Amino acid sequence: MAINDTIISILNRRSYREYTDKAISEQDLNLILQAGTYAPSAKNQQSAQLLVLKNDIKREALRTLAVKKFGHDPFYGAKEFVLVAANKNTMCPIQDGSCCMENMMVAAESLGIASCWINCVEELFNTEEGKELKKSFGIEEEMMIVGTLILGYAKNYPEYPKPRKAQYVRFIK
Ligand SMILES: Cc1cc2nc3c(=O)[nH]c(=O)nc-3n(C[C@H](O)[C@H](O)[C@H](O)COP(=O)(O)O)c2cc1C
């Protein structure tokens, strides 16, 4: 079987950390979100929710909280955020949410859109101020944030990929 567009998108996907101001189209965003919802989930529980942060004031409040805690913007100035939340009381919330994240990152790559997994939102939402913010976003307490996907157009192509580890794949015979 020859290499195909899906494999090429997987191999080319990178984490982008510099974004232009250009917004991605609603059509592209919807395709990326749809790809996320078609991720597999344990027992088909579909435990994840893709929370698209479309309110500028709320998005900037999250960024401000992050800057206050970490001393820099961990979202790299990006404007499109998808918080992948998953219900803590389901079988595999982290795995289910992670599958959504990866589907969306590969879908974004296939559309020429840059993305990066940002991990700090669950930590932020566990602070006193963060709990209030989480509530103001309408996110239920039992939902954890598995990851946040930032999306946009890349200013710069990242330097690596780093070489793959020698023992990444092992055949057990
Ligand atoms: C679970 C997870 C958490 C990550 N968290 C962050 C993060 O908070 N900030 C960031 O810049 N990149 C984050 N990344 C991206 C990784 O740093 C990146 O995938 C890795 O360096 C390999 O680079 P590549 O994605 O370009 O191949 C995360 C990736 C994963 C899978």
Confidence tier at 157 by pLDDT (50, 70, 90): confident
In whole angstroms, what is the distance from residue 116 CA to residue 113 CA? 10
In whole angstroms, what is the distance from residue 48 CA to residue 12 CA? 26
Nearest atom in ligand 1 to 120's CA: 8
Query: pLDDT tens across 28-58, in order?
Result: 999 999 999 999 999 999 999 999 999 999 9
| Å from CA of 133 to ligand 1 middle | 24
Indicate if ligand 1 lies below 6 Å from the C-beta of 15. yes
Contacts of 164 (CB under 8 A, 6+ apart): none
Contacts of 130 (CB under 8 A, 6+ apart): 65, 123, 124
In whole angstroms, what is the distance from residue 76 CA to residue 116 CA? 9
Domains and CATH numbers, the chain: 20-152 (3.40.109.10)
Q: How far is CA 95 from the centre of its chain?
A: 13
Confidence tier at 1 by pLDDT (50, 70, 90): confident
Q: Using DSSP, state whether 17 is helix, strand or coil.
A: coil
